Amino acid sequence: MDQEAATDVLVLDTDHLAVLEGRSEARERLAHKLEDSGQDLATTIVSAEEELRGLLAQIHRVVDPHKQINAYERLRRRLEFFASWTVLPWGTRSADLFIQLHRQRIRCGSMDLKIACIVMAHRPRP
């Protein structure tokens, strides 16, 4: 996605994606808000990494192959989910912003800061 195309995109972080995956009242509220916004939706490669790492860890914790079936199915569904979404990449501009903000000792988790840098890197420049 180029920078101009990112203008009206609503970027969801890992927490939002987890809510959308579930079947709850919170999921319904979020889905309605997103639909009502009229904006295109995207996520970041960092959010994809976080979700996939969690699923892979679940698979590797279980020794019995039969008990891995559900975890592999969740992994398959998430791969399909990410394949259908715009996933903003981590690039040179994101990395440069991360280094700048990290040096400023911004009080933010490393992965959250990476997500913010990806979003900032894909905003149109003034």
Distance CA 3, CA 48 (A): 20
Q: What is the pLDDT of residues 93-123, one digit of tens each?
A: 999 999 999 999 888 889 999 999 999 999 8
CA-closest candidate to residue 78, choices 105, 118, 47: 47
Instruction: Give pTM, 2 decimals.
Output: 0.84
Whose structure tokens read 């891995």? Answer: 68
**Mind listing the pLDDT tens digit for each residue in 6-16?**
457 899 999 99
The whole-angstrom separation of Cα 21 and Cα 93 is: 30
Domain ranges across the chain: 4-88
Q: Tokens in use for 40?
A: 């295109």
Report which secondary-structure segment, H or E, holds 47: helix 45-61
CATH architecture of 4-88: 3-Layer(aba) Sandwich (3.40)
35-68 residue pLDDT tens: 888 889 999 999 999 999 999 999 999 999 999 9
Q: How far apart are CA 122 and CA 11, in angstroms?
A: 10
Sign of CA dihedral 56, 58, 61, 62: negative
Q: Are 54 and 98 in contact (CB under 8 A)?
A: no
pLDDT for the residue 126? 64
pLDDT at 125 over 80: no
